[in-house]
Amino acid sequence: MPPHLNLYLAAPRGFCAGVDRAIKIVEMALEKWGAPVYVRHEIVHNRYVVDGLRDKGAVFVEELDECPPDRPVIFSAHGVPKAVPAEAARREMVYVDATCPLVSKVHIEAERHHQNGLQMVMIGHAGHPETVGTMGQLPDGEVLLVETPDDVATLEPRDPEKLAYVTQTTLSLDDTAEIVAALKARFPAIVGPHKEDICYATTNRQDAVKAMAPHIDALLVIGAPNSSNSKRLVEVGAKAGCSYSQLIQRATDIDWRALEGVAGIGITAGASAPEELVNEVIDAFRARFDVTLKEVETAQERVEFKVPRVLREPA
Ligand code: SF4
């Protein structure tokens, strides 16, 4: 008889509406224009998803100049600096922007503050495509990046009275609250979003991990090493008391020895990880344990985003 194991499954987990839409955009573009369709950057941060789309005829590139001008190009869900669609238009390319509408909302916010004469502070991770895209909405030097509360002390704004901030959508809620508090303490006049820019999907996935934490000793987060929201889920699990909180890409990454003797294990998945990978991990546990599966649901999600009109129109 295999040993018994309580497996807790976070809900919500996995795909968010922005990822779902971005994948649909590539699939519909392939249907409409045939292969190859070019995609600038990984459409979403998940190798399994990217490989699946590549098999259907998508070609992933890093920069626009790698795309021929006569094939459609899609911009990833993370958003792009303004210079990228401008260059595509200059080259008269057909392009579809798969930027998540919740990221576009942050772009619009940044632009509005800039037009009102405020210098922007972005709370985010240097080099992440979303940070690069949001900072690239404004001219160089107009957006100051802050990654930690300590960075706030060294900020040198043009005018401390004329500042606003935006955030990356996939940050840790608690860490971001600390940075915002540091910004407000040093720059009391700083203007922020009514509700922070961290999106509903990030918030819900982190809340579900926190609710699951008291029942589990170990947490496995299914996601890619370059997925910001997945890495934040690992941190949230560790902060909430899981002595073992680990990112895995799929079932073959599970370190079974590290889980020996653990009575309760939690599973969640980042916003770009498909449910197939969650099922694969559950099946791997079922092959070794007598599993009791319990879902910990903290929210229900009904958010859906429409694909751009160009893909809804006939070819
Ligand atoms: S994580 Fe949030 S902001 Fe990012 S694609 Fe999903 S819904 Fe959009």
Residue 74's CB is within 10 A of a number of other CB atoms, namely 28
Task: Name the β-bridge partners of 293.
Answer: 7
pLDDT at 194: 80
Residue 185's CB is within 10 A of a number of other CB atoms, namely 11
Contact 133, 106 (CB under 8 A): no
Contact 239, 211 (CB under 8 A): no
Nearest CA to ligand 1 atom 7: 18
Contact 213 CB / ligand 1 (< 6 Å): no
The atom of ligand 1 lying closest to the CA of 169 is 3
Question: pLDDT by residue (tens digit) across 120-152?
Answer: 999 999 999 999 999 999 999 899 999 999 999
The atom of ligand 1 lying closest to the CA of 170 is 1
pLDDT at 313: 85
Contact 106 CB / ligand 1 (< 6 Å): no
Contact 229, 223 (CB under 8 A): yes
Question: pLDDT by residue (tens digit) across 217-238?
Answer: 999 999 999 999 999 999 999 9
Mean pLDDT of the chain: 96
Contact 199 CB / ligand 1 (< 6 Å): yes
Mutate which of 78, 100, 131 to test ligand 1's pocket (most atoms within 8 Å of Cβ)? 100
Residue 137's CB is within 10 A of a number of other CB atoms, namely 24
Nearest CA to ligand 1 atom 8: 18
The atom of ligand 1 lying closest to the CA of 77 is 5
**pTM of the predicted model as reported, rounded to 2 decimal places:** 0.96
Contact 144 CB / ligand 1 (< 6 Å): no
Q: Which residues are catalytic?
A: 130
Question: pLDDT by residue (tens digit) across 150-198?
Answer: 999 999 999 999 999 999 999 999 999 999 999 999 999 999 998 779 9
Contact 18 CB / ligand 1 (< 6 Å): yes
